[in-house]
Structure 1
Amino acid sequence: MKNIVVTYKSHYGTTKQYAQWIAEELGATLLERKEATPAELQKYDLVIHGGGLYASGILGIDLVVKNPINNLIVFTVGMANPETTDYTEIVHKNIPEGLREKTKVFHLRGGMDYGKLSLPHRGMMAMMKKMTIDKKAEAELTDEDIAFKDSYGGNVHFIDRASIAPLIQYAQEL
């Protein structure tokens, strides 16, 4: 693939950082979601879209699922550990069935600085904690629950440039 674009939508910067690294590694054009148009995407042989995960939604995914794209890679960025998290429901909710089979999806781990969260996002995190973590007995907590509980209200970052290697390899092999 010679002509590649990386699009992204990021609230707090971790998805943007991954998108920058991916574009750099592949020699691709980098476009923030608000700059990208369906007509612009048609100029590229491969579109790679990155979006942060919020309430099981992938930010900016509408751009690539509502417009025909021949070669599509999607990467998500969230707090959960991709090695132990099942993203099937999120993928099914965000990528239509006909497109799902043609789209390769990668999941990357981001970070969170509670001090920088918007009021609505802080409220969502508090509600999530109350509805899941606070209702479970200590013995029922999963590793993900414990990590969430331990990091709640703080500043934690798992962003790692090395984690993009499988995506880069896949894109180069197309």
Structure 2
Amino acid sequence: MDTKNKVAVIYKSKYGSTKKYAGWIAIKLDADLYELSDVINSNLQDYETIIYGSSLHAGKIKGLNFITKNYDKIKDKNIIIFTVGLSKCNNKTIEKIADDNFNEEVLNNIRLFYLKGAFDYKNLTIIDKIMMKGLKKSLENKSYNELEEGDKKFLRDFYSPMDFTNKKSVTPIVELVSSFEV
């Protein structure tokens, strides 16, 4: 890959799903892969495309201050952000993430993707267990007919590990980046 089309995939992962997706993207694009704590800001200038992936925590993208802090240095680049969570993958979810995390200028200059992650209650931190129990309780308070199929499965299998990661989910991101290289 020539310097003009160099791609950096940067991720912040708490339980492993984001790291898995970042790895799949980096392999498919022959990109450089970095854990967020290993990124040296001066190296960002070496890349034409910057992909940042992280999990959602209470609707907020973890580590997003990396993008906002460096935005003036990277705003002329192709910026892609992917988030990983357990919500349904649809436009409503993406719009909510966008509204909760970005101002209009940044939102107009990035591409945002949402990917489904994994969940294993026994491996959660105490804070995350409390939050997930709250989500579970809010779903249990709805009538069974109100629940979507994914919510029903979530309640049914709450204490069993669930993995919704899928290598094919990165295809739209890979195709977008490939379109930059034309």
Match of 1:3 in 2: 6
Distance 2:149 2:40 in 1: 40
Q: Which residue of 96, 110, 126 maps to 2:103? A: 96
* Greater helix content: 2
Count, aligned residues: 173
Q: Deviations over 1:27-74 (max 9, x none)?
A: 111111111243222221110000111210112211112212222000
Distance 2:63 2:9 in 1: 12
Q: Which residue of 41, 57, 62 maps to 1:54? A: 57
Match of 1:78 in 2: 85
Counterpart of 1:157, as a letter, is D
Match of 1:20 in 2: 23
Match of 2:45 in 1: 42
Structure 2, unmatched stretches of 5+, are none
Alpha-carbon shift at residue 148 of structure 1 (Å): 2.3
2:111 is equivalent to residue 108 of structure 1? no
Counterpart of 1:148, as a letter, is F
Q: Residues 160 and 7 from structure 1, CA distance in 2 versus in 1: closer, same or farther, beyond 3 angstroms? A: same
Contact 1:37 1:63 survives alignment (8 Å): no
Counterpart of 2:161, as a letter, is N
SS of 1:60's partner is coil
SS of 1:90's partner is helix
Counterpart of 1:150, as a letter, is R
Alpha-carbon shift at residue 14 of structure 1 (Å): 0.6
Distance 2:21 2:125 in 1: 21
Q: Percent identity?
A: 32
Alpha-carbon shift at residue 149 of structure 1 (Å): 1.1
2:129 is equivalent to residue 117 of structure 1? no
Distance 1:56 1:7 in 2: 20
Distance 1:138 1:108 in 2: 26
2:171 is equivalent to residue 161 of structure 1? no
SS of 2:26's partner is helix
Contact 1:65 1:96 survives alignment (8 Å): no
Contact 2:94 2:113 survives alignment (8 Å): no
Counterpart of 2:108, as a letter, is E
Q: TM-score, normalised by structure 1?
A: 0.92
Distance 2:84 2:92 in 1: 12
Distance 1:64 1:122 in 2: 28
Alpha-carbon shift at residue 144 of structure 1 (Å): 3.7
Contact 1:38 1:63 survives alignment (8 Å): no
2:35 is equivalent to residue 29 of structure 1? no
Alpha-carbon shift at residue 85 of structure 1 (Å): 5.1
SS of 2:15's partner is coil
Alpha-carbon shift at residue 96 of structure 1 (Å): 1.9
Q: TM-score, normalised by structure 2?
A: 0.88
Alpha-carbon shift at residue 84 of structure 1 (Å): 7.2
Counterpart of 1:110, as a letter, is G
